[in-house]
Amino acid sequence: MLDWVIVSARLLQFVCALVLFGFSLFRIYGLRGEGPGPSTGRWDWPQLSVIIAATGGLFGVLWWVAASAAAFFPSAGLFDPSSMWIVLTETGFGRIAFMRVGLLALSIAVIVILTSTRIFWIVQSMLGMLIVASFAWTGHGAYNSGLEGFVHTTADILHLVAAGIWIGALLPLGVLIWRSVHAQTATGAQSTLESLDRFSGIGPMVVAVLVLSGLVNSWFLVGIAQWSALFRTEYGIALTLKLVFFGAMLILAAINRYRLSPRLRSDLEQGLSPASVLRKLRVAVLTEFGLSIIVLAAVALLGTWEPPIAN
C-alpha cells in the first residue's frame, strides 16, 4: 500500500511541476492577454492555475517525503516530523526534496508579491524549470557516476524540460479553446489560432528532444542486449505502455497541427463559424492532456522499480 502512496505522490509532483513550468512559459510566448472572456478579479485564470500547481506540487513533495520516511521508519507512522526531517537533511534525495520545497514556496510567494507582468512569468518559468530539472537527481540517472552519470543526467534534464514545455502548454491551450467555444466570437477564435500556431512552431523541436533524450535514457536503463526485457518484465511492460500512450499523443498533436488548425484558419478566412472545429480541437487537446497524465503515471511507477540494466 505504501508503494502506491509513493507513486501517487511522485505523480502529483510531476503533474504540478510540469504545469507550473510549461504554463508559465506558454504565458510568455503563446498567450497574449487573457484570451476570450472576463478576468476573475485580483488573479486572472493563468495566475490561479499557477498557484494551484505550485501549492499542489508543495503538498506532493511533502507527501512523498512523508511516505519515504514511513518506509524507512515504519513505527513512526505517516507525516512524522522527526523522521521526515531526517529524510530531508540526511539523504541525497531528501536534500533535493528540501530544495524543491523552497523553490515551490518561493513560487507561491512570487504569486502573492508580484503583479501579472512579463517579469512575473519569466520568474515563474525559471523557478518551474529548476523544479522540473531537479527530478533528474531523484531518478535512476542519479545512480550513475563519471561520464555516464553526466550524460544520463543531462539527458534526463532535457527530457524533463521538453516534457514540461509540451505537457504544461496543453492545459492553457485547452482552457483557451474552451473559452473560445463559449465566447463564440471571431476575435476569440483568432486568438486561439495564434496561440496554436506559436505552440506548433516549437513542437517539432520539443518532440525531437523528447525522442533523442528518451533513447539515451533507454540505453542506460534497458540496454540493447536486454531489449527483450521490454516484453518480459514489469518495468519493460510499463515502459512499453508509456511509449504507446506517448505515440497516441504524437498522433493527436499531428491531427491538431496538420488538420484541425488549418481548418480553423480556413473557416476564419472564409467568414464561417469556427464552433465545430473548436469543439474538435477542445476534445483533442484535453484528450492529449489526459494521455499525458497516464504517461506521467507510468514514469512515477517506473521510478520505484529497478530497471533491467540493474539485474
CA dihedral 24, 27, 28, 32 (to 10 degrees): -170
Return the amino acid letter for 98: F
How does pLDDT run across 5-52, given as a tens digit for each residue? 889 999 999 999 999 999 999 999 987 655 443 344 445 778 888 999
CA–CA distances in Å: residue 116 to residues 16, 128, 170, 216: 20, 16, 21, 38
For residues 13 and 21, give the distance between their C-alpha atoms in angstroms, rounded to a whole number.
12
The mean pLDDT of 82-106, rounded to a whole number, is 93
Choose between 38 and 77: higher pLDDT. Answer: 77
Q: Residue 227: is its pLDDT beyond 60?
A: yes
For position 1, what pLDDT does the model report? 53
- Report the distance separating Cα 19 and Cα 204, nearest Å: 20
Average pLDDT of the segment spanning 237-245? 92
pLDDT of residue 8: 93
What pTM does this model have?
0.89
Task: Label residue 245 by pLDDT band (50, 70, 90).
Answer: very high
- Is a pLDDT exceeding 70 seen at residue 311? no
- pLDDT reading at 244 higher than 60: yes
Least confident window among 130-134, 156-160, 238-242: 238-242
Whole-number percent of the chain with pLDDT over 70: 90
Q: Determine the Cα–Cα distance for residues 70 and 2; give it in Å rounded to an integer.
A: 8
Q: What is the pLDDT of residue 141?
A: 64
3-state secondary structure of 19: helix
User: Average pLDDT of 118-122?
Assistant: 89
**Residue of 105, 118, 94, 100 lying closest to 32 (CA atoms):** 118
Look up residue 259 and give its amino acid.
Answer: R
Give the C-alpha distances (Å, rounded to integers) separating 208 from 79, 158, 205.
41, 11, 5
Read off the C-alpha cell for 91: 539523504
Cβ atoms of 13 and 311 closer than 8 Å: no
Confidence of residue 116 (pLDDT cuts 50, 70, 90): low
Per-domain boundaries in the chain: 1-138, 141-311
pLDDT at 143 over 70: no
C-alpha cell at 222: 534497458
pLDDT, residue 4, reads 85
In this prediction, residues 206-219 reach a mean pLDDT of 92
Q: Are 30 and 169 in contact (CB under 8 A)?
A: yes
The per-residue pLDDT of the chain, averaged, comes to 87
